Structure 1
Amino acid sequence: MTRQSQTLTEPQYFILAALLDGPLHGYGIIKAAGQATEGRLRIAVGTLYGALERMERAGLVATDREEIVDGRARRYYRLTDEGGEMLGREALRMQQAAAVVIGRSRNAGAAPA
Structure 2
Amino acid sequence: MTETAFYILLSLVAPQHGYAIIENVSKMTKKRIVLGPGTIYGSLSKMKKDGLIEPVKEENNRKIYQITELGLLILKMEKDRIKELYKNSKEVL
TM class by smaller structure = over 0.9
Structure of greater relative contact order (alpha carbons < 8 Å, 6+ residues apart): 2
Identify the residue that residue 50 of structure 1 maps to in structure 2.
Answer: 42
Equivalent AA in structure 2 for residue 45 of structure 1: P
Q: 4+ residue stretches of structure 1 with deviation over 3 A?
A: none
Mapped to 1, the partners of 2:23 and 2:10 lie a distance apart of 12
TM-score (norm 2): 0.96
Identify the residue that residue 32 of structure 1 maps to in structure 2.
Answer: 24
Equivalent residue pairs, number:
93
Q: Give unpaired runs (5+ residues) of structure 2.
A: none
Higher Cα Rg, which structure? 1
Identity among equivalent positions (%) equals 32
TM-score (norm 1): 0.79
Mapped to 2, the partners of 1:34 and 1:43 lie a distance apart of 8
Identify the residue that residue 18 of structure 1 maps to in structure 2.
Answer: 11
**1:78 lines up with 2:66 in the alignment:** yes
Q: Give unpaired runs (5+ residues) of structure 1.
A: 1-7, 106-113
Question: What SS does structure 2 have at the residue aligned with 1:76?
Answer: strand
Equivalent AA in structure 1 for residue 88 of structure 2: V
| Shift, 1:9, TM fit | 1.0
Per-residue CA deviation, residues 46-93 of structure 1 (Å, 9 max, x unaligned), is 00000000000000000010012xxxx111000100000000000110
| Shift, 1:31, TM fit | 0.7
